[in-house]
């Protein structure tokens, strides 16, 4: 990652709700790292319905719980962009400088949490003011970050520490580290909140953490160079992107093993699930597109062009 810094307070105005969509549409916001923009895809029409500029080299993305804010981390731009889509009127994007290497991002109703790859910490940003209110020291090279509304916690994957930081959001300095596999990157949480999944890039497996005991209960082998994961709405299956295999592993969580694999585009990275649980969207870096998977049939339903270097690292679908 580079060191280019965007100027403070850069503001770009444009219509964020694309023409031809309605308020009922489910939208996917895909970061295109080599195009410095975000593609907006309608899941209903399976079409690209908008493309919007953000900061330099966007990577992480998270649709906040209020669905009124979409936060993007610009890894090499040393900034974050906050999109505020609005129906029927112009929305806006605000880009602010933030640290040396913002990568993973998540948010709650009131705050944004950004993992800084180089500074080995998480910045806590107030959503209303976009001001940093505190920082939290974590492990080495933090990547994936995820807020847990069930237990009021924050989970952070520390790639170079082979651990996951578990942070109490009521007291951000009170946290522990749980050892996982080799080079954890993406994180996923079951919808019940009972299990946390750390995707370990180098060891080619997923560590399963019991969120009650904070212990690793299983390690599940998947494909080569796994990156991100998402859980089915019924918590029965885990879908994991495998970068080097151009595939998605489908894991049966009751059996604790890989059930099958699905071929997708080149170098799959981000992955998310539609609110109704019917569709899995896989973001492919190498082929610059999004693969749509039928979550029940476990087959590819469509492929949608997105942009160059598509990543979609985080929760990118409106809920």
Q: Which one, of 220, 283, 288, lies nearest residue 254 by Cα?
A: 220
Quick check: is 39 in a domain? Answer: yes
Average pLDDT over residues 192-205: 98
pLDDT at 115 over 70: yes
pLDDT tier for residue 88 given thresholds of 50, 70 and 90: very low
Rounded CA-CA distance 128/204 in Å is 39
Quick check: is 297 in a domain? Answer: no
CB atoms within 10 A of CB 287: 17
Phi first, then psi, for residue 160 (nearest 5°) are -90, 0
Rounded CA-CA distance 112/125 in Å is 5
Return the percentage of the chain with pLDDT > 70, whole number. 91
Average pLDDT over residues 242-263: 98
Q: Which one, of 278, 273, 283, 291, lies nearest residue 308 by Cα?
A: 283
Secondary element (H or E) of residue 18: none
pLDDT at 188 over 90: yes
pLDDT at 4 over 50: no
pLDDT at 273 over 80: yes
Return the pLDDT at 11: 27
Return the pLDDT at 86: 57
Rounded CA-CA distance 152/138 in Å is 17
Quick check: is 47 in a domain? Answer: yes
pLDDT at 17 over 50: no
Average pLDDT over residues 165-190: 94
Q: Each residue of 31-85: pLDDT tens digit?
A: 999 999 999 999 999 999 998 899 999 999 999 998 889 999 999 999 999 998 7
Return the pLDDT at 175: 86
pLDDT at 14 over 50: no
Return the pLDDT at 23: 57
Domain of residue 84, residue span: 1-137
The two beta strands, 153-158 and 47-53, are unpaired
CB crowding 161-175: b at 16 or more within 10 Å, else e: bbbbbbbebeebeeb
pLDDT tier for residue 237 given thresholds of 50, 70 and 90: very high
Return the pLDDT at 9: 29
Q: How many domains does the chain have?
A: 1
Residue 118 · residue 138 · CB < 8 Å: no
Return the pLDDT at 66: 84
Rounded CA-CA distance 159/144 in Å is 9
Quick check: is 6 in a domain? Answer: yes
Quick check: is 278 in a domain? Answer: no
CB atoms within 10 A of CB 128: 8
Residue 202 · residue 226 · CB < 8 Å: no
Does the pTM surpass 0.95? The reply is: no
Give how far Cα 117 sits from Cα of 107, 185, 245, Å.
Answer: 18, 11, 25
Return the pLDDT at 155: 98
pLDDT at 92 over 90: no
Return the pLDDT at 168: 95
Quick check: is 185 in a domain? Answer: no
CATH (domain of 111) = 2.130.10.10
Q: Which two tokens stand for residue 250?
A: 């489908």
């Amino acid at each position: 990652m580079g060191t280019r810094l965007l100027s403070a307070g850069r503001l770009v105005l444009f219509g964020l709700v694309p023409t031809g969509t309605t308020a009922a549409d489910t939208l996917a916001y895909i970061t295109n790292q080599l195009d410095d923009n975000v593609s907006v895809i309608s899941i209903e029409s399976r079409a690209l319905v908008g493309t919007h500029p953000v900061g330099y080299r966007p990577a992480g993305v998270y649709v906040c719980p209020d669905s009124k804010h979409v936060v993007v981390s610009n890894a090499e731009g040393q900034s974050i962009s906050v999109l505020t889509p609005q129906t029927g009127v112009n929305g806006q994007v605000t880009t602010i400088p933030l640290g040396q290497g913002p990568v993973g991002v998540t948010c709650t109703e009131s705050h944004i949490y950004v993992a800084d790859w180089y500074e080995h910490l998480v910045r806590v940003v107030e959503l209303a003011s976009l001001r940093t209110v505190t920082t939290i020291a974590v492990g080495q090279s933090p990547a994936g970050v995820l807020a847990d509304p069930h237990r009021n916690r924050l989970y952070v994957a520390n790639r170079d520490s082979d651990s996951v930081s578990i942070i109490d959001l009521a007291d951000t300095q009170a946290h522990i580290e749980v050892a996982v596999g080799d080079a954890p990157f993406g994180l996923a949480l079951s919808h019940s909140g009972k299990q946390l999944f750390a995707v370990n890039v180098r060891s080619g497996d997923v560590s399963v953490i019991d969120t009650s005991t904070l212990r690793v209960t299983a390690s599940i082998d998947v494909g080569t160079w796994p990156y991100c994961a998402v859980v089915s709405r019924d918590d029965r299956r885990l879908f994991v992107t495998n970068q080097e295999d151009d595939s998605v592993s489908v894991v049966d969580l009751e059996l604790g093993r890989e059930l099958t694999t699905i071929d997708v585009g080149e170098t799959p990275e981000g992955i998310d699930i539609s609110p109704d649980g019917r569709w899995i969207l896989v973001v492919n870096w190498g082929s610059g597109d999004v693969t749509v998977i039928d979550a029940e049939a476990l087959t590819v339903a469509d492929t949608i062009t997105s942009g160059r270097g598509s990543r979609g690292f985080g929760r990118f679908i409106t809920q």
